[in-house]
Amino acid sequence: MEVRRTTVRDMRRSNRSVILSSIYREGPLSRQELTVRTSLSAASVSNLVGELIAEGVVEEAGSVESEGGRPRVLLRVAPTFKYVAGAEVGETRVRVELFDLAMNVLARADHPISSPTPEEVVKHVLEGLSAVIASSDAGTEQILGLGVAVSGVVEDNAVVDAQTLGWDAVPLAALLAEGTDIPVHVDNGANMLGQAEMWFGAGRGATDAVVALVGSGVGSALVAGGSSYRGARSSAGEWGHMTIVYGGRQCRCGALGCLEAYVGAEGVLDRYRVAGGTADGDEETAFVELLASASNGSEPAAAIVSDTIGYLAAGFANLVNLVNPERIVLGGWAGLLLGEKHLDELRAEVGKHALRRPYAQVSIVLCELGRDAVALGAATLPVVRLLRDGGAVRGLSGN
């Protein structure tokens, strides 16, 4: 095996990365705070910060009083240094958003889709990307990259296996790259929700957490020791396909008794129809009406909602017992609708199924970033590369 020597240039890039990551994730920070957080010398911090400011990556953002000395100048990543795009590929729509580096939304494009085939997805992601760029002041050369969040297992080379969508080894990044010079990054949607919430939302400060996405389907992002846990081939977190009922309802993946078949919106509404309820209109409208009917005293609706909370609680209890998280964050459009009305009930039900000690150590909270957090998380993919490269910007032709 060839051993690569670390050069002075490598060390400098690594130190820039540490400084830039600290400013981005924890800032605004002063030079003195960076010295403490990074364990670099004050001289190194000063020199590298000077470089980043001169390159336009970092800017001064006011000052704070210090004890017995001059005010400390605060530093932040310059919001308009570059821009990033994020796309959420859902089962009924493709949403593309453009952000500055402070993750403010600058433009948004939505495209409804009737069938999430690879061809339809590629078409609408590229159309959405063109639309958000055209409606903003950002030119193509100013876009760091496009992050795309999609259901299924995403391997390192951005090949997607989405069993519930019928996708088998789809080279999504390569297909998208044929239509744009902007670097493309692809990852699982639940992982992107998790990254958004861990960076900017309800997961901040936690080192061991689970971010659960409950929408039409069900998934999760696992965080262990402060890092995303992906497993041997990036399929860790497919929590929606754990067996919750042996020989139970058929899931969209083809297996029987998956959690998704009981708490995913599609499965919940199907159970409601089987019980004699009416669930008309699009999936979200029908789900909202189901929750309203349950609140208004409909016994069939109340029974379905109660059972759904029970199944979801059992799924959470399995996570508590298996991975011992300090925090579980519930998100996804259906998860938020359910949690806004029934979070206390859900917490109590988890306590009935989980081991006493790990349950006492976990908090169960709702996502803070709302329903569009998946696109936001996807947009962090090119930001990750910028931070890792210490602020160096690769050419648009290099993915």
Q: How much is the mean pLDDT over the chain?
A: 92
What CATH superfamily classification does 204-368 receive?
Answer: ATPase, nucleotide binding domain (3.30.420.40)
Q: 64 phi and psi, to 5 degrees?
A: -130, 150
Question: Does 157 or 251 have the greater pLDDT score?
Answer: 251
Q: Per CATH, the architecture of 8-77 is what?
A: Orthogonal Bundle (1.10)
Residue 50 Cα distances to 60, 206, 377, angstroms: 11, 32, 29
The token pair at 233 is 């081939």
- In 10 A of CB 397, how many CB atoms? 9
Confidence bin at 4 (pLDDT 50/70/90): low
Q: What is the pLDDT of residues 161-186, one digit of tens each?
A: 888 888 999 999 999 999 999 999 99
233-247, 255-269, 324-338: segment of lowest average pLDDT: 233-247
Residue 205 and residue 189 in contact, taking contact as beta carbons nearer than 8 Å: no
User: What average pLDDT does this structure show over 324-328?
Assistant: 97
pLDDT of 64 strictly over 80: no
pLDDT of residue 395: 57
Architecture of the domain defined by 83-193+374-389: 2-Layer Sandwich (3.30)
Instruction: Specify the pLDDT at position 399.
Output: 40
Residue 398's pLDDT band, with cuts at 50, 70 and 90, is: very low
Closest CA to 358 of 308, 305, 317: 317
Same fold: 83-193+374-389 with 204-368:
yes
DSSP class of residue 318? Answer: H
Is the predicted pLDDT of residue 130 greater than 60, yes or no? yes
* Residue 234 predicted with pLDDT over 70: yes
Mean pLDDT in residue range 108-123: 92
The average pLDDT across 82-101 equals 94
pLDDT of residue 69: 66
- The amino acid that residue 167 corresponds to is W
Tokens for 2?
């060839």
Specify the pLDDT at position 65.
Answer: 73
Residue 44 has a pLDDT of: 94
The answer to which of 66-80, 145-159, 291-305 has the lowest mean pLDDT is 66-80
User: 63 or 125: whose pLDDT is higher?
Assistant: 125
- Give per-residue pLDDT as tens, 354-387: 999 999 999 999 999 988 799 999 999 999 999 9
pLDDT, average across residues 114-133: 94
Task: Output the pLDDT for position 397.
Answer: 40
Share of the chain above pLDDT 70, in %: 96
- What pLDDT, in 10s, does the model give residues 264-277? 999 999 999 999 98
Q: Which pLDDT score is estimated for 279? A: 82
Residue 137 confidence (pLDDT): 82
**Is 117 exposed, middle or buried (CB count within 10 Å of its CB: 0-12, 13-18, 19+)?**
middle
Q: In this structure, what token pair is assigned to residue 395?
A: 């050419």
In the predicted model, is pLDDT for residue 280 greater than 90? no
Q: Spell out the domain ranges in the chain.
A: 8-77, 83-193+374-389, 204-368
pLDDT at 68: 60
**Average pLDDT estimate for 11-28:** 93
User: Is pLDDT of 229 > 70?
Assistant: yes
The confidence score (pLDDT) of residue 389 equals 94
Closest to 312 (Cα-Cα) out of 353, 255, 359, 256: 353
Between CA 160 and CA 176 the distance in angstroms is 13
